[in-house]
Amino acid sequence: MSNSEDKSNDKSNPESPKVGRRGFLKGAAAGAAAIAVTPAANAQSPSSYETTLSAPTYQQIERDTGMITAPSPDRSVLRPGSDLIVQALKDMGIEFVASNNGSSFEGIQESIANYGSPPNYMPEFITCLHEETSVDMANGYGKAEGKPMCAMLHGTIGIQHAAMAIYQAFYSGTPMLLIAGRDDGFIQAHTANDMAAMVRPFTKWDAQPKTLPECLDALHEAYRQAMTPPTGPVLVVIDMEIQKEEARDMVVPAFQPPVIDGIDVATARDIAQSLLDANNPRINVGQLRTPEGVAAAVKLAEVVGASTSTSATQGPMSFPQRHPLCGPGADTNNDFVLGLESESPNISLFRPTVESLTQSRDDMGVGFGGMRTNVPASGRGAPRQRPGTVMSIDAEGSIPVITGEAMRLISANQKSKIEARKANHASANQSAYVAALKEAVAEKKKGWDLSPVSTARIYAELWPLIKDEDWCLASPSNFSGGHHRQLWSHNKPYSYLGGQGAAGMGYGAGACGGAALAARGRNRMVVNVQTDGDMNYTPGVLWSAAHHQLPMLTVMHNNRAWHQELMFIQYLAGVRGRGTDRAHIGTTLRDPFIDYAKMAEAYGMAGEGPIEDPTLLAAALKRGVESVKNGEPYMIDVVTQPR
Amino acid sequence: MKNLTLFVILAFLLPVTVSAQQMGPVTGDAENGALLFYQHGCYGCHGYSGYGRQDLNNTGSAILTNEVIFRAYLRGRQNVAPLLPSTAMPNYPANVLNDELVSNIYAYIRSMPENLPESDEVATLRAILESAQEPYTP
Ligand SMILES: Cc1ncc(C[n+]2csc(CCOP(=O)(O)OP(=O)(O)O)c2C)c(N)n1
Ligand SMILES: [Mg+2]
């Protein structure tokens, strides 16, 4: 980006708060209305600002609550800047803008609603009841599709509501475009000189363009930044003046998609040769970036006849679990292993993650809080080194180069050996799968008929109903037992979207909504096994799902508790010798119980329950699947065992 | 007491299993035990009926051999809190669960029904197992 204000390396920002052009014209009266900010000597430290807070003016409140009409414009705008902004979003293939409305982006919102033919399409405005939901939706969509959708936020306050969801998307490395409206002439508390600063430590990149051409450039660059490893959320702050200015005959520049580097040809050739020379090569596959990357990994494995591992039961964008090459293989003695975003004793390729941004952006020490890849997952203990030769390069961008070299180098003799090996792998992997499934079923049927319903039974009863559908499990599954890992087959890049990112509760329902946005036009359905604690942070997502007719089946894992925390308190009370009979205080959702079918009904979503008798479950799930296939989201409240 | 604690620890560590015939008598009140099992949150990890994160049913665990061992196990858990939160089994000194109450909980655990249907007899489980034979379609 040439001339916009890229704040990513600008930590000092010593300027005093600027007076916007509009504010300047209005003069001091408007400036004094809400917050008078007096920069003191050291403007870098927030505490050195002297602020005088006063309530919004009568006129401001009147306008915000729709009591008066806006003043007539001093000119009629024929081609508002926000139309060009929306055109830029169209050009980049942004399907949805999820947002809770706010006047700081009213120009863009109006353009989404009215510009284009048809209007409100690519992007479509997705009405959210909370900014956390907007961003969680973008997170679910981004994980499922491997590309950004947009969440639009209202000034300082919208960004703050969105903050945790942005934080989690950052941890997950989910590509996402955030737009924040900025209007320094209206309610002063909703604006700030540098509002992106609030989320800078956990966004990849941000900009606050000063002109419309800069803004269009910034949006393009934002997309490229979000998609280029390290992938993650990016934020463009867009001033009201830019949204409302007359663009006259300005053209939206052509969008240049990102070019993502892979390994060089010589290294690719070495790897290809090693794969071809090996008697029993293997490819370990972690989380790639896009569905195209997954397809490329499948092709490479097929060309060289390698058995593969997958992380598809842990998260999105990995090798199809039931592909004949996926599994332990006919012989687990591997003489060459290639790791694609996954460890290997020989060579592994890992793309840079957002951890690498800590130097340039992380004032708050997010990196210290667990971003680092070289510490054990539990957070304590000695740094852990990855084995073998580790190349810091995008695996997905490298796979086609390796495959190309392998196809060029492969001999006829190798080809026939590879075909025989593939057949052996296929039958071995099938046997291994059947054996593992038998074992899993024996385990999961424990307590099958008991009430409350076992968590395993929810996943077990779901599988026959969805296995022939195109499904996406978008809810984190650890708290509900993760039984899909053993019982379901994860064959699509979006089969399972993984955890919250930073273990922040409240993510699940919104992420499922976003995955369902992706699913809606693709004949896919989203399964949401929804924990009750998580549901209650932003339940308004149920309304958004009903309003936008999202194909989302929500099955409550209603254990009537923040159960994880209950167990923690129990243990602590135990070691303190004080008994566990009061551990329910603050950790349970009882007295009264929450009725989720009624909650769904209140938000306009069909539903039923609470179901305590497990024999009623399968029929309810069937009704749910049918409803969702007909384009109506559905909620089934199931009272469950705690874990 | 010390020997007993040692035995309990060993019983827990070694893969010792105890058959139904080897188990000691039940003296407590299972109905009251069920209430205590709920009130003290035992269901949190063991499920409302003994299936959960940590099964109680049919595990053959030596800890459930008899009331004495069970009680010693409850009393002998860790009593210094580590800094990290934990979901391990809490400690239950006598002042929070006296011997009688422990016997009642023991009686309830021993009364828990087994629930492990034959896979062939459950349509869903049959369907899951059959689905493994379906060919992979990308
Ligand atoms: C935003 C946020 N607040 C609080 C927590 C602490 N916390 C961790 S697990 C948990 C309980 C979640 O309850 P629920 O979603 O119902 O899952 P359950 O453990 O009951 O299966 C809470 C509150 C958190 N991780 N994130
Ligand atoms: Mg819960």
Query: Lowest-pLDDT range, A168-177, A334-343, A381-390, A619-628?
Result: A381-390
Among the listed residues A204, A152, A217, the one whose alpha carbon sits nearest the alpha carbon of residue A360: A204
Ranges for all domains in chain A classified under CATH 3.40.50.970: 81-244, 445-639
Contacts of B95 in chain A (CB under 8 A): 577, 579
pTM of the model: 0.90
Q: Which two tokens stand for residue A344?
A: 């290997």
pLDDT number for residue A364: 86
| Measured distance CA(A495)–CA(A537) in Å, rounded | 25
CATH superfamily name and code, A81-244: Thiamin diphosphate (ThDP)-binding fold, Pyr/PP domains (3.40.50.970)
Question: Span A30-36, mean pLDDT?
Answer: 31
Q: Which two tokens stand for residue A222?
A: 């934002």
Q: Which two tokens stand for residue B84?
A: 């990290």
Question: Span A89-98, mean pLDDT?
Answer: 98
pLDDT band of residue A41 (cuts 50, 70, 90) is: very low
Among the listed residues A463, A445, A499, A637, the one whose alpha carbon sits nearest the alpha carbon of residue A557: A637
- The pLDDT tens digits of the residues spanning B103-120 come to 999 999 999 988 999 999
Question: Span A4-26, mean pLDDT?
Answer: 38
| Measured distance CA(A306)–CA(A277) in Å, rounded | 12
Contacts of B132 in chain A (CB under 8 A): 433-434, 437
pLDDT tops 80 at residue B46: yes
Whether residue B132 and residue A452 make contact (CB cut-off 8 A), yes or no, is no
Phi-psi region of A325 (alpha: psi -120 to 50; beta: other; left: phi over 0): alpha
Query: Domain map of chain B by residue range?
Result: 2-133
What residues contact residue A249 under an 8 Å CB cut-off, 6+ apart? none
pLDDT tops 60 at residue A36: no
**A445-639 is classed in which CATH architecture?**
3-Layer(aba) Sandwich (3.40)
Q: Does A563 touch chain B (CB under 8 A)?
A: yes
pLDDT number for residue A170: 96
Q: Which two tokens stand for residue B22?
A: 């080897």
Helix, strand, coil percentages, rounded to 5, for chain A: 45, 15, 40
**A265-351+393-434 is classed in which CATH architecture?**
3-Layer(aba) Sandwich (3.40)
- The pLDDT tens digits of the residues spanning A489-545 come to 999 999 999 999 999 999 999 999 999 999 999 999 999 999 999 999 999 999 999
ipTM comes to 0.91
pLDDT number for residue A68: 58
The rounded Å distance from CA A505 to ligand 1 centre is 5
Contacts of B55 in chain A (CB under 8 A): 446
pLDDT number for residue A355: 85
pLDDT number for residue A368: 74
Element holding A207 (H helix, E strand):
strand A205-207
Give the DSSP per-residue string, A16-59.
PPPPPHHHHHH-HHHHHHSEEEE--S-TTSGGG-EEEE-PPPHH
Does the domain made of B2-133 have the CATH classification 1.10.760?
A: yes
Q: Which DSSP letter does residue A510 get?
A: H
A 10 A CB-CB count for A171 gives 23
| Measured distance CA(A61)–CA(A55) in Å, rounded | 9
The answer to whether A284 and A345 have CB atoms below 8 angstroms apart is no
Residue A461 to chain B, least CA–CA distance (Å): 6
Which residue is closest to A294 within chain B, CA to CA? B138
- The pLDDT tens digits of the residues spanning A367-398 come to 777 666 555 555 555 566 789 999 999 999 99
CB-closest option in A433, A450, A467 to B49: A450
pLDDT band of residue A268 (cuts 50, 70, 90) is: very high
A 10 A CB-CB count for A628 gives 26
If 0-12 CB within 10 Å is exposed, 13-18 middle and 19+ buried, where does residue A521 land? exposed
Q: Which DSSP letter does residue A392 get?
A: E
Beta pairing, strands A96-99 & A124-127: parallel
Residue B42 to chain A, least CA–CA distance (Å): 9
